[in-house]
């Protein structure tokens, strides 16, 4: 009997160790991590510079509340901005959903409006605010959430009819790549139309880059590849390389409107989290890992191009692989061959959220296993 509340459906693996891109189970199996701990470990596991950063931070200044100035937080904020041409300030929180809550809060307060528009295929987190604007019914349908139309509207990804974005709208919140909703990129030019519509009616554009940020799409912020300049961006997952941390990133215009105490959280951007953020960002930039994710993507696409019935969606280290077989069957068969991948709401779509540090040999371990599995699993 487990004392843990049974909220997570768990795979039958007893994990005891993780290093690099590999997991080790209690029965000694070594499993290739193509799921990247759900997009959390861009540098793989137990990266020595992260171990050093965390232990040094703990020894030097373990924690203090946000009522005092701490230089490590300033450095982490600069690292998050990465010289962005249009974003200027960072507010650290502890998770993706909290970053989205902060964005929604600020958008409503600054615009004086209430309505938020999101995508029908979206996922934005499990706290009640983020859940109330999540599109995927499998998640929002679980609790009674009688969200009034004045609070939330939905549009479908790629929909040319943007009339839902009107003068009542405080913010449009969009994932840079719809991830759980099936790994779908916005169609070319569509986000620019959304941005133009937001500008026209005075709504704020917020990009949820909880999965697509921190270099995962081959640029530090996902929106750099998508041709838009959002008013706010939310980050989490990869940002702390395994340490829980999220961030709200905003433009100077918004930063100028923020008042004391309107956002805040006890743990947000504590010194250990900040040291991890600083280190993750430094290593990704120094080691050319944003180019590396694109090289890994190219290797995967080129091998799978030989399969007419397999499609690859997404970008960089956020890829959906759609096969004729049910995704859960393929996932289980890959696991039997010691490779772990994710799934999504697409019943035929696998989700790859791998570390950026995968070697070519490791990519080939995955591709060999996938090819063997595709040859053996039933379709349909």
Ligand X SMILES: Cc1ncc(COP(=O)(O)O)c(C=O)c1O
Among candidate residues 172, 100, 107, the one with its CA nearest the CA of residue 131: 100
Q: Least Å distance between CB 189 and ligand X? A: 22
Please tell me whether residue 236 binds ligand X under the rule CB under 6 A.
yes
- Of the two residues 79 and 353, which places its CB atom closer to ligand X in the complex? 353
- Of the two residues 92 and 123, which places its CB atom closer to ligand X in the complex? 123
Q: Among the candidate windows 22-30, 117-125, 197-205, 225-233, which touches ligand X by CB under 6 A?
A: 117-125
Among candidate residues 103, 132, 124, 249, the one with its CA nearest the CA of residue 175: 124
Q: Among the candidate windows 9-17, 90-98, 222-230, 341-349, which touches ligand X by CB under 6 A?
A: 90-98
Q: Least Å distance between CB 128 and ligand X? A: 12
Q: What is the C-alpha to C-alpha distance for residues 321 and 70, in angstroms, rounded to an integer?
A: 43
* 133 neighbors 152 (Cβ within 8 angstroms): yes
Q: Least Å distance between CB 260 and ligand X? A: 25
What residue number has its CB nearest to ligand X? Answer: 96
- Of the two residues 171 and 373, which places its CB atom closer to ligand X in the complex? 171
Of 179-218, which residues contact ligand X (CB under 6 A)? 179-180, 208, 210-211
* 165 neighbors 172 (Cβ within 8 angstroms): yes
Using CA atoms of 88, 132, 211, 57 in order, give the dihedral in degrees to the nearest 10: 60
Among candidate residues 245, 244, 248, 147, the one with its CA nearest the CA of residue 204: 248
Q: Among the candidate windows 12-20, 119-127, 263-271, 287-295, which touches ligand X by CB under 6 A?
A: 119-127
Q: Three-class SS of residue 217?
A: coil
Q: Three-class SS of residue 165?
A: coil
Q: Least Å distance between CB 217 and ligand X? A: 13
- The rounded radius of gyration (Å) of the Cα atoms in the chain is 21
Using CA atoms of 19, 24, 28, 32 in order, give the dihedral in degrees to the nearest 10: -90
Q: Three-class SS of residue 328?
A: helix
Please tell me whether residue 296 binds ligand X under the rule CB under 6 A.
no
DSSP letter at 88?
-
Token pair in block for residue 70: 């701490």
Q: For the chain, report the end-to-end CA distance as a whole number of angstroms.
A: 36
- Of the two residues 73 and 100, which places its CB atom closer to ligand X in the complex? 100
* Binding test (CB under 6 A) with ligand X, winner from 121, 175, 224, 231: 175
Q: Among the candidate windows 66-74, 123-131, 147-155, 219-227, which touches ligand X by CB under 6 A?
A: 123-131
Among candidate residues 95, 126, 115, the one with its CA nearest the CA of residue 163: 115
- Most distant CA pair in the chain: distance in Å? 60
- 166 CB-contact burial (10 Å; exposed 0-12 / middle 13-18 / buried 19+): middle
Of 91-110, which residues contact ligand X (CB under 6 A)? 95-97, 100
* Binding test (CB under 6 A) with ligand X, winner from 45, 91, 113, 124: 124
Q: Among the candidate windows 45-53, 174-182, 259-267, 353-361, which touches ligand X by CB under 6 A?
A: 174-182
- Of the two residues 137 and 150, which places its CB atom closer to ligand X in the complex? 137
Q: What is the C-alpha to C-alpha distance for residues 58 and 81, in angstroms, rounded to an integer?
A: 24
Q: Least Å distance between CB 113 and ligand X? A: 22
Please tell me whether residue 125 binds ligand X under the rule CB under 6 A.
yes
Tracing tokens 């189970």 back to the chain, one arrives at: 25
Q: Among the candidate windows 11-19, 173-181, 315-323, 334-342, which touches ligand X by CB under 6 A?
A: 173-181
For ligand X (CB under 6 A), the number of binding residues is 14
Q: Among the candidate windows 73-81, 121-129, 345-353, 365-373, which touches ligand X by CB under 6 A?
A: 121-129
- Of the two residues 130 and 323, which places its CB atom closer to ligand X in the complex? 130
Residues 6+ apart with CB under 8 A from 378: 325, 329
Of 16-55, which residues contact ligand X (CB under 6 A)? none
Q: Least Å distance between CB 94 and ligand X? A: 8
Q: Least Å distance between CB 345 and ligand X? A: 12
Binding site for ligand X (CB under 6 A): 95-97, 100, 123-125, 175, 179-180, 208, 210-211, 236
């Amino acid at each position: 009997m487990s004392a843990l509340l049974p909220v997570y459906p768990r795979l039958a693996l007893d994990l005891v160790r993780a290093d690099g891109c590999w997991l080790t189970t209690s029965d000694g199996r070594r499993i290739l991590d193509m799921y990247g701990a759900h997009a959390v470990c861009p540098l793989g596991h137990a990266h020595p510079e992260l171990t050093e950063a965390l232990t040094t931070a703990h020894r030097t200044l373990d924690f203090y509340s946000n009522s005092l100035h701490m230089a490590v937080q300033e450095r982490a904020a600069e690292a998050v901005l990465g010289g962005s041409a249009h974003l200027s300030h960072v507010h650290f929180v502890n998770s993706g959903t909290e970053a989205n809550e902060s964005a929604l809060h600020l958008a409503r307060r600054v615009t004086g409006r209430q309505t938020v528009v999101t995508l029908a295929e979206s996922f934005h987190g499990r706290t009640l605010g983020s859940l109330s604007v999540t599109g995927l019914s499998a998640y929002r349908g679980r609790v009674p959430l009688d969200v009034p139309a004045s609070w939330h509207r939905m549009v479908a990804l790629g929909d040319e009819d943007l009339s839902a974005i009107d003068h009542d709208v405080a913010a449009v919140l969009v994932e840079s790549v719809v991830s759980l909703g099936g790994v779908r990129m916005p169609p070319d030019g569509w986000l620019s139309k959304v941005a133009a519509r937001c500008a026209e009616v005075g709504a704020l554009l917020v990009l949820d880059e909880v999965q697509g940020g921190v270099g995962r799409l081959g640029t530090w912020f996902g929106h750099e590849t998508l041709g838009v300049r959002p008013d706010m961006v939310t980050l989490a997952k990869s940002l702390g390389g395994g340490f829980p941390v999220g961030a709200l990133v905003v433009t100077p215009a918004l930063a100028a409107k923020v008042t004391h105490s309107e956002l805040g959280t006890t743990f947000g951007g504590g010194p250990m989290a900040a040291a991890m953020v600083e280190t993750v960002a430094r290593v990704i930039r120094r080691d050319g890992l944003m180019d590396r994710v694109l090289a890994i993507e190219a290797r995967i696409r080129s091998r799978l191009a030989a399969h007419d019935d397999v499609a690859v969606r997404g970008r960089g280290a956020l890829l959906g692989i759609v096969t004729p077989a049910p995704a859960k069957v393929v996932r289980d068969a890959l696991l039997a061959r010691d490779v772990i991948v994710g799934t999504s709401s697409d019943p035929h779509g696998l989700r790859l959220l791998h570390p950026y540090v995968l070697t070519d040999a490791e990519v080939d371990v995955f591709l060999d296993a996938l090819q063997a599995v595709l040859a053996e699993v039933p379709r349909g």
